[in-house]
Copies of this chain bind each other. A is one copy, B any other.
Amino acid sequence: MSNTRKPPTMADVARVTGVSPMTVSRAFKADSLISKERREAILRAAEDLGYVFDSTASNLRSQKSGFVAVTIPSINNANFADTVGGLSDTLATRDMQILLGYTNYNTQEEERLIEQLLRRKPQAIVVTGGKHTERGRRLLETVNIPVIETWDIPAEPIDHYVGFSNANAVRDMVDHFVRAGYRRIAFIGGDVGRDTRGSERRIGFAAAMQVHGLDASRLIAAGLPPISMREGANAMAKLIEIYPDTEAIVCVSDLAAYGALTECRRLGVPVPERFAIGGFGNYEIGEVCVPTLTTINAFAREIGEKTAALILDILDGKQGIDVRISPELIVRDSSR
């Protein structure tokens, strides 16, 4: 480990192999013109010497970092993890790496992060959602790399976006509930103002209820986003106390919905007979729990894949076309 000798450079490999450093450089680049035998000899010598290619120097010289910067609200969320997975796997096909940062659902933190990430000279930057601090937005507007906002369709996109309307997605669920005969419908979500996607879902709920001429005032604030299962359970308890005549509940995520479900189970309240419940995000829990959860699939992984494809197109000089995802309502046992 604590070998203190200076690590070998391309010049060392060149010396050992009897070629110029430039030829060593070519040996390490996939599609460069160099004879097969020479490349093999060089790579063998490099391995023997314990040479490790230095991306830092390469990046500085070529002005290409191979990084795509990505900010997500939380690392501990299966939806965002899927998006990052899709991004990561797709970008890997072109040897690009993700530089990840967590905003903790906080635009101040996002601003700090954007600044930090841009210093690494990423070739594109992906942010979650369309809400930023003023300075954060300015940083993104000024930087001359592709900027992609995801998980949302911003009113005024900075550059590109790959997302969907959170409000419309929730409207689909409200419509489903109304079609199924429910009228007194409540919404369990986070405190207003922090999680923009959550806020939009609440707004979508209210708008859809109004269209149906229904009362949209049954709102339970479950705490600061992200809402945990536990907070979903607590919110359900509160709801039963405040609005006992509720028939159906739209939750800001499957995690909150599952929490609500467990609270019903504990109280011996049958779902969907007494309360129908719907979630958001198509988490694994929703298709395994009893009863299975009605939810909305936002195609988290596809968001990542399509964002990566968009980035690669732009870097290839093609025109980048923004993507509108169409979330899909999945009706399961918790609402029928």
**A interface residues (Cβ-Cβ under 8 A, vs B):** 1-5, 7, 50, 52-57, 59-60, 65, 75-76, 78, 81-82, 84-85, 88, 97-100, 102, 115-116, 118-121, 141-147, 158-159, 228-230, 233, 258-259, 262, 265-266, 284-285, 287-290
Contacts and interface: CB of A to CB of B under 8 A. Distances in A.
Contacts of A142: 3, 50
B285 A285 contact: yes
A118 B54 CA distance: 8
Given A75-B84, A143-B52, A100 B102 contact: no
A88 B76 contact: no
A118 B75 contact: no
A2 B320 CA distance: 12
A285 B228 CA distance: 10
B52 A56 contact: no
Given A59-B56, A290-B265, A99 B102 contact: no
19 contacts: A1-B141, A3-B144, A4-B144, A52-B115, A53-B119, A54-B119, A55-B119, A57-B60, A60-B60, A75-B75, A76-B78, A76-B85, A85-B102, A97-B99, A100-B100, A230-B288, A258-B288, A259-B288, A266-B290
Contact of A76 (B57, B82, B121, B158): B82
Given A7-B144, A144-B7, A88 B59 contact: no
B85 A287 contact: no
